[in-house]
Amino acid sequence: MARPRIVDVLLNAALVGVGLLVAVLLYGLLTRTFAPRTTPTRDAEITLGAEPGADPIQVEVRNAVGVDGLGREATAFLRRRGFDVVEVGNAPLREETAVEVRAGTDTYAQRVAAALGVPDDRVTAPGPLAEYDPDVAVYIGADYTRLAPFRALSSDSTD
């Protein structure tokens, strides 16, 4: 029996590779053609995070309560309203929720505060702490049940 030549083995391997590539490309074409398209939607409420044609307001959300998931809930709430939440994390404990102007303007902070339901007297302007600060920082305090993203949660827990 004759041994297969190395060239024949390489050609067979190349044919298998090309066959796999064609199969992947056909799969992509078929799924792109026949799969339904999805488009992200925002809440029906007014989008506060950006003017038409402008960049959205960048927000940093900090959980200053220690209750798991508050930062995540606030992030989802703000993103649905057009804000660009660029960082989520924890902060030292606070009694009251605060909104701070970082690299942005007072107007930016007031828009974020209005979306969350934070009173104007809790909007401060200490300014940037670093070159890469977002426009606004939100510190969720122990009064979080009064904020818009968590009102439904607090009414569910009292039932």
Q: Give pLDDT tens digits along the chain (159 positions).
A: 567 788 888 999 999 999 999 999 999 998 888 887 766 555 545 556 556 567 789 999 999 998 999 999 999 999 998 899 999 999 999 999 999 998 888 899 999 999 999 999 999 988 777 777 899 999 999 999 999 888 866 554 444
Per-residue pLDDT at 40: 58
Look up the domain containing 99 and give its range: 58-157
Per-residue pLDDT at 42: 53
* Concatenated DSSP letters of 102-139: SSS-HHHHHHHHHHHT--GGGEE----SSTT--SEEEE
**Cβ(87)–Cβ(61) under 8 Å?**
yes
Question: Is the same domain home to 33 and 62?
Answer: no
Per-residue pLDDT at 159: 42
Per-residue pLDDT at 52: 59
77 assigned to some structural domain: yes
46 assigned to some structural domain: no
Cα–Cα distance measured from residue 125 to residue 105, given in angstroms and rounded to the nearest whole number: 8
Question: Is the same domain home to 31 and 78?
Answer: no
- Count of domains for the chain: 2
Q: Where are the beta strands (DSSP E) in the chain?
A: 58-63, 84-90, 98-101, 123-124, 136-140
44 assigned to some structural domain: no
Question: Is the same domain home to 62 and 117?
Answer: yes
Question: Is the same domain home to 7 and 80?
Answer: no
91 assigned to some structural domain: yes
81 assigned to some structural domain: yes
Question: Is the same domain home to 69 and 141?
Answer: yes
Cα–Cα distance measured from residue 138 to residue 99, given in angstroms and rounded to the nearest whole number: 5
**Cβ(103)–Cβ(57) under 8 Å?**
no
